[in-house]
Amino acid sequence: MRLTLRVARYDPGADVDIRMQKYLVEWERQETVLDVLFKAWQQDPTLAFRRSCRSGICGSCAMFIQDGPRLACQTLVGDLAGDGGELTLRPLPGFRPLKDLVVDLDPFFDALKQVIPWVLTVPGHDGRVAPEDSRRIEGPATCILCGICDAGIDSGGNVRPAALVKNVRLAVDPRDALGAQRMKVTGLTEEGLQTFRQLLARICPKGIELPAVALE
């Protein structure tokens, strides 16, 4: 089968704005968007994009695919286009493009740093976590920091979406000295958090479901 890939190109040294470039590629039913992007790259090695694991773990292949932000390695071409169809790839919205599909993720990681994204251990805690606590941590702990939520939804509060997910993960961790106090910084109400939960469930490629957490 054939596919026209329309890919955003941007060279900061030569382009004022993003321009779209077309690549004609062959594809098979089981192939992902990242697979066909590699075929475009074989035609044109100047094409820049991030990827590493090719299995939905590293989060680096996040981009705007057709009509929304998705992981290229986890999105099947056949779910978005048919034989002779067209697929449009753009950089993640809300981030400054650096080159082609590569964006500046510094603001994303800066926001994460602001919530102190590690466990501040309760003095003397033995480190053991009960199974029910572990189950509450598990959902938000599966975040792969892909940036798709930051690109596609609003947290409704003071911290960006992925930082909010990290904050919730730490707020429900019994080993963390700040615990539920961490939620103060979010400025969210119960309704706001519930709205975010629903938006996240719709957009997150890992299908993260946030546990209940006290808003102290």
Answer yes or no whether residue 115 interacts with ligand SF4 by CB under 6 A.
Answer: no
Closest CA to 9 of 38, 66, 48, 60: 48
Answer yes or no whether residue 171 interacts with ligand SF4 by CB under 6 A.
Answer: no
User: Binding residue for ligand SF4 (CB under 6 A) from 90, 169, 182, 206?
Assistant: 206
User: Binding residue for ligand SF4 (CB under 6 A) from 146, 171, 210, 213?
Assistant: 146
Nearer to ligand FES, 60 or 155 (CB): 60
Nearest distance in Å: CB 91, ligand SF4: 16
CA separation for the pair 10, 13 (Å, rounded): 9
CA distances (Å), origin 177, targets 79, 88, 118, 123, 141: 45, 46, 11, 8, 18
Partner in contact with 162, chosen from ligand FES, ligand SF4, none, beta carbon below 5 to 8 Å by kind: ligand SF4
Nearest distance in Å: CB 203, ligand SF4: 6
Residue with tokens 């740093």: 113
Contact 215, 172 (CB under 8 A): no
Partner in contact with 63, chosen from ligand FES, ligand SF4, none, beta carbon below 5 to 8 Å by kind: none
Distance of CA 150 to the CA centre of its chain: 7
Helix (H, G, I), strand (E, B) or coil at 84: coil
Nearer to ligand SF4, 32 or 167 (CB): 167
Half-sphere exposure of 14 (CA within 13 A, CB side): 6
Nearer to ligand SF4, 90 or 206 (CB): 206
